[in-house]
């Protein structure tokens, strides 16, 4: 999906849900979308500072928290980095295929797995929240 289309979907979600997509939030989202792969908070801060010289770490972290909370982006825990989302209009669990050679990240969705993971947790009396699954390996472009 094109970055402009993602922005359009996020804008429409914000409108429907009464959320404020401030200039900073929107700009951080655009920067995550423009990144080739997972991007770290301090790289976003460096870029943001070029346009908003007063931007400080909390500026970026607050914007990222907003985008994460509403599922407009995802955070890869193992890399401590952020990636854009395939489907920002629908709440979902993200599963990620991360290539160890080219560092590409592909988001995949699989409803059956969502349910299976909830069941496993509940069988252990655990109430599951976020589910993030990061699978490391070699992508289809790299193993050919």
Residues lying near Zn ion in the complex (CB under 5 A) are found at 85-86, 94, 99, 101-102, 104, 139, 142
- At closest approach, how far in Å is the CB of 144 from Zn ion? 10
- For Zn ion, the closer of residues 45 and 95 by Cβ is 95
DSSP state of 35: S
The least distance separating Zn ion from the CB of residue 65, rounded to whole angstroms, comes to 16
Task: CB nearer to Zn ion: give 102 or 116.
Answer: 102
Contact present, 99 and 134 (Cβ < 8 Å)? no
CA neighbor of 26 nearest in space, from 115, 113, 81, 88: 88
> Hey, is 55 helix, strand or coil?
coil
Q: Smallest gap, in angstroms, from Cβ of residue 55 to Zn ion? A: 26
Nearer to Zn ion, 25 or 55 (CB): 25
Side-chain-side CA neighbours of 48 within 13 Å: the count stands at: 27
């Amino acid at each position: 999906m094109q970055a402009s289309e993602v922005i359009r979907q996020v804008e429409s979600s914000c409108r429907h849900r009464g959320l404020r997509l401030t200039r900073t939030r929107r700009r951080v989202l655009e920067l995550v979308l423009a990144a080739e792969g997972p991007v770290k908070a301090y790289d976003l801060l460096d870029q943001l500072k070029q346009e908003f010289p007063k931007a400080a770490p909390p500026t970026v972290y607050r914007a990222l928290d907003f985008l994460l909370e509403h599922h407009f982006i995802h955070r890869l825990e193992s890399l401590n980095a952020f990636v854009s989302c395939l489907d920002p209009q629908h709440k979902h669990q993200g599963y990620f295929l991360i290539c160890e050679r080219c560092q590409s990240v592909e988001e995949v969705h699989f409803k059956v797995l969502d349910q299976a993971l909830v069941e496993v947790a509940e069988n252990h009396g655990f109430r599951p929240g976020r589910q993030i699954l990061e699978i490391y390996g070699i992508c289809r472009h790299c193993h050919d």
